[in-house]
Homo-oligomer: A and B are copies of this chain.
Amino acid sequence: MQRPGGRSARVRTAVHQAVVELLQEGLDVSIAEVAERSGVHQATIYRRWGTIAGLINDVVIEVLRQSPVPDTGTLRGDLDAYAVQMARDLAGPFGKLFLRAALVGSENAEDQIYLLERGIQVQGMLDRHENAPTLIELMEIVQAPIYFHALVFNAPLGPEQAKSLVDRLLSLREP
């Protein structure tokens, strides 16, 4: 029998908050430090999350869940908002953590669920419009370059550059 409420929930939020603080301050996240800040005992963190990677992954997914899919009314507006928000996320204090999470999460069955949920949401966004690109096209032509710039060049894209990727995507559908 699981007990998600009450004390467990408080522990969870306290630990999450400590992780977010450390990330925003640019410090490296160790279990010892998280335990110190959150007031939660180290052994508890080890038992619930196992490793630092697992903990960070949990936090990142939590953050991403609170980032809704755009709904502006037009296809171009949705795509622009989606691209710009993604570029901004990668430029933020979390930045590479998203990439790291993807790296870890792709090996983890439980975290794959998040990717699936997100994929369904984005597909829903595309389904609201006529003549929309496919989910794969969106990922390959818009999302992949945004990730790539942040990963390899260590320089996230600005809003205008992100929108130019949307231009390229749409130009393939309307030759």
Residues of A within 8 A of B (CB): 96, 99-100, 102-103, 106-107, 115, 139-141, 143-145, 147-148, 151-154, 165, 168, 171-172, 175
Contacts and interface: CB of A to CB of B under 8 A. Distances in A.
Contact of A140 (B96, B99, B139, B145): B145
Nearest to A137: B168
A96 B107 CA distance: 10
Given A140-B145, A145-B140, A102 B151 contact: yes
A151 B96 CA distance: 13
B175 A175 contact: yes
Across chains A and B, which 9 residue pairs bring their CB atoms closest together, nearest first? A144-B148, A106-B154, A144-B144, A140-B145, A144-B145, A102-B152, A102-B151, A147-B148, A99-B103
Given A148-B139, A148-B148, A168 B175 contact: no
Of A100, A153, A171, A175, the most chain B CB neighbours within 10 A belong to: A153
A104 B69 CA distance: 30
A146 to B, nearest CB: 8
A103 B106 contact: no
A152 B96 contact: no
Contacts of A154: 106-107
Nearest to A108: B154
Given A103-B96, A103-B103, A151 B147 contact: yes
